[in-house]
Amino acid sequence: MSFLQLQPQWVIGDGPYSDIVLSSRVRLARNVMEVPFPRQATVEQLRQLVKEVEEIKNENKKLTHLKLLKFADLPLLERKILVEKHLISFQHGQNEEGALLLEDNGAVSVMINEEDHLRIQCILSGLQLEEALEQADKVDDALTFQLKLAYDDDFGYLTCCPTNVGTGLRASVMLHLPALKIIGRLEPILRSITKVGLTVRGTYGEGSQVYGNIFQISNQVTLGRNEQEIVDNIQRVTMQIVEHEKNARDILLKNGKIKLKDLAGRAYGILSNASLLSIEEAMRLLSDLRLGVDNNLLEDIQNKLLNDLLISIHPAHLSKLYDKDLAEGEQDIYRAILLREKLRGRN
């Protein structure tokens, strides 16, 4: 199966607390000793690193299931699709010397020549940080065994950005928090997160906007804490937020079940009939619809479909699906077409 048809593992939506925790991600930053960081390295050094990683992959039975995608061989549109699938960063996709190792189910991937030489990541459905760390660690051990890594006995793994020095671990969860937003309790909770060493970002990480009440929460620094401490901290805080969101949903159901059902029903009506939809409006309506589905107020709509739509309504996916170079105004037209087709057909 081509990576273009790949549905990331987290989209299935079968993980623990997946009605609120859309996904869990663990990313390990690693660099090779005596090779400049990607932003300072020469083209030849970057190409040589990709070649070396490819050789290690082909020789190690624990890695042969990973497919290597070289960005020089991929059109820019296809790289943008990888970005929209949360498999690479926007900056990584702009690098002609970048590459990606990718598992068939999209759970495990390795960014090559991003900000760091290697960024090993695992993304799973629901709250599964421990499991994601375990899978990422296995690939890390297999891939870096033959590489001399940039490591300091005092500071740990050395990385391009100082905030990643130490374990090199960035762990995060993607949370859908519509009920807290509706009852006005979201902002105080998000502000309190920064007091325990965590940060709040948009759907696509640092610098991205928040759409559809979806927030990414991750650790701010890796120095001075081991991997288990980082994961445990995010796990604990996430469970507290999950409980707050559950309580908020209970309040909405108790005080206005009809209003909540109407909110979801109106969202479905617009999504399945509109002729124009911006990305902002589509994400907001999908959030309202999902809130109704999660509270059993609407039938025959699966979160797997809603998760898939969170990805497929983005520009690169639309352009690929309809085989058109879509201008911004045209994107709104074809986004509406896609949503009508998917929600009416339930596929």
Q: Is the pLDDT of residue 207 over 60?
A: no
Q: Are 38 and 177 in contact (CB under 8 A)?
A: no
Q: How far apart are CA 238 and CA 196, in angstroms?
A: 12
Across the range 12-37, mean pLDDT stands at 96
Query: CA 64 to CA 330: how far, in whole Å?
Result: 41
Residue 209: helix, strand or coil by DSSP? coil
Q: In the structure, what pLDDT confidence band is assigned to residue 204 with cuts at 50, 70 and 90?
A: low
Q: What does the pLDDT read at residue 209?
A: 76
Which helix (H) or strand (E) segment holds residue 130: the answer is helix 129-144
CA distance 92 to 115: 8
Distance separating alpha carbons of residues 256 and 235, to the nearest angstrom = 31
- Across all residues in the chain, what is the average pLDDT? 93
pLDDT of residue 329: 87
For the cut 80, the answer to whether the pLDDT of residue 4 exceeds it is: no
**pLDDT tens readout for residues 268-321:** 999 999 999 999 999 999 999 999 999 999 988 999 999 999 999 999 999 999
The structure's pTM equals 0.93
35: CB partners within 8 A, 6+ apart: 41, 45, 49, 117
Average pLDDT over residues 28-47: 96
pLDDT band of residue 208 (cuts 50, 70, 90) is low
Q: Give me the pLDDT at residue 279, please.
A: 95
Contacts of 271 (CB under 8 A, 6+ apart): 277, 282, 285, 286, 289, 339, 340, 343
Residue by residue, DSSP assigns 62-129 as TTTTSEEEEGGGS-HHHHHHHHHTTSS-HHHHT-TT-EEEE-TTSSEEEEESSSSSEEEEEEEESS-H
Per-residue pLDDT for 178 more than 70? yes
- Summarize the confidence of residues 212-223 as an average pLDDT: 90
Is residue 37 within 8 A of residue 160, CB to CB? The reply is yes
Number of Cβ within a 10 Å radius of residue 54: 15
Under the banding of pLDDT at 50, 70 and 90, the label for residue 197 is confident
The pLDDT, as a whole number, for residue 196 is: 85
Average pLDDT over residues 29-50: 96
Record the tokens describing residue 131, joined without a space: 């499991």
Between CA 280 and CA 289 the distance in angstroms is: 14
Residue 346 has pLDDT above 60, yes or no: no
Q: What is the pLDDT of residue 210?
A: 80
pLDDT at res. 205:
62
Q: Which residues touch 344 (CB under 8 Å, ≥6 apart)?
A: 272
Which of 38-42, 267-271, 291-295, 327-331 shows the lowest mean pLDDT across its residues? 327-331
- For residue range 51-73, list pLDDT tens digits in order: 999 999 999 999 999 999 999 99
Q: Give, in order, the Cα–Cα distances in Å from 188 to each of 19, 174, 193, 244.
A: 22, 18, 9, 12
Determine the pLDDT at residue 272: 96
Note the pLDDT of residue 5.
73
* Rounded-to-integer distance, Cα 271 and Cα 206, Å: 29
Of all helices (H) and strands (E), which one includes residue 28?
A: strand 21-30
DSSP string across 289-336: HHHHHHTTSS-S--HHHHHHHHHHTSHHHHHHHTTS---HHHHHHHHH
- Largest separation between any pair of C-alpha atoms in the chain: 64
What pLDDT, on a 0 to 100 scale, did the predictor assign at position 224? 78
Q: Domains along the chain?
A: 9-225 (3.30.590.10), 245-345 (no CATH)
Q: What is the mean pLDDT of residues 99-103?
A: 97
CA 199 to chain centre: 15
pLDDT tens column, 109-165: 999 999 999 999 999 999 999 999 999 999 999 999 989 999 999 999 999 998 899
